[in-house]
Amino acid sequence: MATSDANKKNTKKFNETKKLDDYSLKQFIKESKSKISHLSYEQALNELDILLEKMQTSNILVEDLKRSYIKGKLYLEHCEKLLEKVEQEVIEISEEDLN
């Protein structure tokens, strides 16, 4: 019976830690998105290059690797969004010029 109680306590502690980790990860994503959203295409691309080089040349802890991956994905998404915006502007300019 004592083993069962210990297992329940460990499971509860694990679930509480996971909830905290999920919250801090969501907070990290929210804060990163906010910072990245103010960057130009060139700035975001440069930050992505720096991050990739760091990931390739350093010994990174798993938790840091996860955060670096997320941040890299956010940089990439931001760059893609900026490129799509420019592409749409070029299409609109071309359509106006042709008519």
The pLDDT value recorded for residue 36 is 98
The pLDDT value recorded for residue 18 is 61
Residue 73: CB atoms within 10 Å: 13
Q: How confident is the model over 30-84, as pLDDT tens digits?
A: 999 999 999 999 999 999 999 999 989 888 888 788 899 999 999 999 999 999 9
Cα dist from 50 to 11, 16, 75, 81, whole Å: 39, 34, 11, 20
Q: 18 or 21: which carries more pLDDT confidence?
A: 21
The pLDDT value recorded for residue 48 is 96
Domain containing 70: what range? 2-98
Task: Provide the domain count of the chain.
Answer: 1
Q: How confident is the model over 20-30, as pLDDT tens digits?
A: 587 798 999 99
